[in-house]
């Protein structure tokens, strides 16, 4: 699948997911179209409970108030099922939604399928109108975009308040 273009509508999807708040799991379906009116950060990650993914998602959790202050929601997406996500979220204290793309359809739509065997660690910022404004797709490895870097991109989006495109960061 060709790479998604900055400034174009983000592919819509609906996935099952879970949010764990105060130890209580809430399972439901999450649709990107339901986020119109607010930005959303899609954080694709390879696997629940891996060291790098745990560090990545816990870092976003520790800065969740900063995302919320910018009006944005964070959604984690991987190919594990909602039961795995529930256990992972409860163990790590993650309170933002973790979505289960078990068939890999959304991974494929967003062009982050890694050789058919996994998911590339990737971040996509979708604006309030459902338009892709920024992305970073890692080629390989365990490095991830910091919460501060993502929030910087959200602030740039908020400062513009228009349909101008943010750049496509080079993959690393």
Domain ranges of the chain: 37-159
Q: Using 50 as the pLDDT threshold, list the residues of the chain that sit under it.
A: 162-168, 170-172
Give the pLDDT confidence score for residue 2 in this predicted structure. Answer: 60
Give the pLDDT confidence score for residue 118 in this predicted structure. Answer: 81
Give the pLDDT confidence score for residue 172 in this predicted structure. Answer: 43
Give the pLDDT confidence score for residue 149 in this predicted structure. Answer: 95
Contact (Cβ atoms closer than 8 angstroms) between residue 156 and residue 69:
no
Task: Read off the tokens for 148.
Answer: 């501060």
Task: Read off the tokens for 1.
Answer: 């699948």
Q: Which residue do the tokens 């490895």 mark?
A: 141
Give the pLDDT confidence score for residue 164 in this predicted structure. Answer: 42
Residue of 4, 32, 53, 107 marked catalytic: 53
Tell me if residue 58 is catalytic: no
The CATH class, in words, for 37-159 is alpha beta
Give the pLDDT confidence score for residue 108 in this predicted structure. Answer: 93
Angle of helix 82-92 relative to helix 51-62, nearest 10 degrees, comes to 60
């Amino acid at each position: 699948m060709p790479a998604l273009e900055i400034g174009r509508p983000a592919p819509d999807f609906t996935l099952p997911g879970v949010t764990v708040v105060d130890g209580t799991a809430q399972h439901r379906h999450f649709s990107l179209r339901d986020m119109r009116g607010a930005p959303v950060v899609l954080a694709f990650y390879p696997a629940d409970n891996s060291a790098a993914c745990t560090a990545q998602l816990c870092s976003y959790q520790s800065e969740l108030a900063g995302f919320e202050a910018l009006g944005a929601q964070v959604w984690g997406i991987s190919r594990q099922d909602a039961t795995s996500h529930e256990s992972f979220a409860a163990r790590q204290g993650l309170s933002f939604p973790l979505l289960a793309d078990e068939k890999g359809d959304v991974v494929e739509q967003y062009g982050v399928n890694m050789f058919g065997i996994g998911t590339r660690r990737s971040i996509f910022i979708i604006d309030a109108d459902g338009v892709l404004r920024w992305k970073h797709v890692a080629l390989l490895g365990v490095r991830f975009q910091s919460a501060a870097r993502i929030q910087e991109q959200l602030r740039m989006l908020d400062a513009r308040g228009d349909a101008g495109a943010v750049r496509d960061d080079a993959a690393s």
